[in-house]
């Protein structure tokens, strides 16, 4: 059927092309395995506090990350707080602004000051040269973020940290199952943090983990996530409750059971989007390095207004009106553009600000299929091919 601009629901109000909502919904995995594990936990009457399911989950995450230690937590935000607390930091922590608010919030919660650095526009991750320039006598740590599952420049960041005698941590919330230089994410820096939130590629409903090869650091974090039990020195005292429940571990294990299938599905979605949008002016993919392992969780495209004839926000409005819940991805707006950070000293982050205004996260995950991707891409192709007209209509409201 031939369409014109008026057919887009946003502009003509016509419902003919409205379809059921397509969005990035959580993966739900094999229910019977989940219920078996939950029944087992209930029969066993061990429901939290480092139970057998949480221990098994830790072992399997450690194996996937290629590290000796994993401490499972109730979520990744608490995991970030725990590792910053365990490192006994003060003053400033350098990190990218292009991340989810949890990264700076974890530092701020502990009275530390996040210092935001700009990104390398190609990788979207923090630029190590700028990190090196931002180190002062008040800097007590660096936190790199593997944004949207693309590993950040781990080796340069580790070198800067070593040169200054400070720790470097990695927020790997998006990056379980990914590698860089053939090495699994999880084993870099002093420690890394994964998120197992419902929206993540491995889900525990809510959950997180700290992974590390530093045995002493792992012991400290393990004690701190259980009210500080067993700690003796004053600086380490004062733990919290960051434990993972057995119900969360049951979900996490069930999600890990089919991790390979989930990644294959995500990869097929990514390839389908690339096929469907090949040659569309002004739409470029934030690509994965196919020489490495990736979890393909987020399909991110960048919209160049000049070439596409419409900007990211107009395209999002068109997609939403057509019942496609594409999103401004995590990190958009960037953290320095959000309270409480934007009221402070505003950093100059031109690459971050340019990228966050141009990116779209397209629906993916195991609930999204090829047919939906075809439909989403036909809307994008249509919007771009009528870019100027679509923008003019959008301005008219």
239-261 exposure pattern, b = at least 16 Cβ within 10 A, e = fewer:
bbebbbbbbbbbbbbbbbbbbee
Instruction: Report the residue from 99, 212, 361, 364 that binds ligand T4K according to the rule CB under 6 A.
Output: 99
Residue 146 class from Cβ within 10 Å (0-12 exposed, 13-18 middle, 19+ buried)?
buried
Q: How far is the CB of 2 from ligand T4K (least distance, A)?
A: 32
Residue 295 in the binding site for ligand T4K (CB under 6 A): no
Build a one-symbol-per-residue string for 202-231: x at contacts with ligand T4K by CB under 6 A, - elsewhere: ------x-----------------------
Of 95, 250, 315, 330, the one binding ligand T4K by CB under 6 A? 330
CB closer to ligand T4K out of 77 and 311: 77
CB of 101 to ligand T4K, least distance (A): 8
User: Nearer to ligand T4K by C-beta: 114 or 208?
Assistant: 208
Of 198, 280, 321, 338, the residue at the interface with ligand T4K (CB under 6 A) is 198
Task: Please choose, out of 14-22, 73-81, 241-249, 352-360, the segment that lies near ligand T4K by the rule CB under 6 A.
Answer: 73-81
Q: Judged by CB under 6 A, which of 27, 75, 212, 266 binds ligand T4K?
A: 75
Write the binding mask 110 to 149 for ligand T4K: x where contact by CB under 6 A, - elsewhere: -----------------------------------x----
**Is omega for the bond preceding 304 within 30 degrees of 0, making it cis?**
no
Rounded CA-CA distance 218/225 in Å is 11
Helices and strands of the chain, counted as H and E runs? 15, 14
Angle between helices 76-86 and 215-224 (to 10 degrees): 120
Dist CA 283 CA 12 (whole Å): 25
For residues 56 and 267, what is the distance between their CA atoms, to the nearest angstrom?
27
Least distance in angstroms from the C-beta of 327 to ligand T4K: 6
Neighbours of 269 (CB within 10 A): 23
- How far apart CA 312 and CA 58 sit, in angstroms, is 40
Stretch of 167-175, 253-261, 304-312, 374-382 contacting ligand T4K, by CB under 6 A: 167-175
Q: Pick between residue 245 and residue 391 the one whose CB is nearest to ligand T4K.
A: 245
Among 10, 62, 70, 76, binds ligand T4K (CB under 6 A): 76
| Residue pair 114/104 in contact by the 8 Å Cβ criterion | yes
Eight-state DSSP code of residue 126: B
Q: Which residues are near ligand T4K by CB under 6 A?
A: 23, 25-26, 75-77, 99-100, 102-103, 145, 171, 173-174, 195, 197-199, 208, 325, 330
């Amino acid at each position: 059927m031939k369409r014109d601009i008026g057919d887009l629901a946003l502009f003509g109000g016509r419902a003919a092309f409205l379809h059921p909502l397509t969005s990035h919904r959580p993966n739900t995995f094999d229910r019977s395995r989940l219920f078996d594990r939950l029944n087992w936990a209930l029969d066993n009457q061990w429901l939290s506090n480092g139970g057998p399911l949480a221990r098994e989950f830790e072992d399997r995450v450690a194996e996937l990350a290629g590290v000796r230690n994993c401490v499972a937590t109730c979520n990744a935000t608490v995991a970030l707080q725990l590792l910053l607390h365990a490192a006994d930091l003060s003053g400033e922590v350098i990190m990218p602004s292009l991340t989810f608010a949890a990264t700076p919030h974890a530092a701020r919660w502990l009275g530390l000051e996040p210092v935001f650095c700009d990104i390398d526009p190609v990788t979207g991750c923090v630029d190590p040269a700028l990190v090196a320039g931002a180190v002062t006598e008040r800097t007590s740590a660096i936190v790199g973020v593997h944004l949207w599952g693309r590993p950040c420049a781990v080796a340069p960041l580790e070198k800067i940290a070593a040169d200054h005698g400070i720790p470097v941590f990695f927020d790997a919330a998006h990056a379980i199952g990914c590698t860089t230089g053939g090495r699994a994410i999880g084993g870099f820096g002093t420690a890394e943090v994964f998120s197992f939130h419902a929206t993540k590629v491995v889900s525990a409903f809510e959950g997180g983990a700290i992974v590390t090869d530093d045995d002493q650091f792992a012991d400290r974090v393990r004690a701190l996530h259980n009210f500080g039990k067993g700690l003796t020195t004053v600086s380490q005292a004062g733990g919290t409750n960051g434990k993972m429940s057995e119900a969360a571990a049951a979900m996490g294990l069930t999600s890990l059971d089919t991790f390979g299938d989930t990644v294959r599905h995500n990869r097929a979605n990514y390839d389908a989007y690339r096929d469907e949008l090949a040659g569309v002016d002004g739409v470029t993919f934030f690509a994965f390095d196919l020489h490495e392992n990736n979890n393909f969780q987020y399909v991110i495209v960048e919209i160049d207004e000049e070439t596409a004839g419409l900007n990211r926000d107009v395209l999002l409005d068109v997609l939403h009106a057509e019942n496609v819940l594409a999103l401004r991805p995590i990190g958009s707006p960037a953290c320095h553009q959000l309270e409480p950070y934007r009221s402070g000293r505003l950093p100059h982050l031109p690459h971050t600000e340019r990228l966050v205004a141009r990116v779209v996260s397209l629906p993916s995950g195991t609930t999204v299929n090829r047919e939906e991707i075809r439909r989403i891409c036909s809307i994008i192709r249509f919007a771009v091919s009528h870019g100027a007209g679509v923008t003019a209509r959008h301005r008219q409201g």
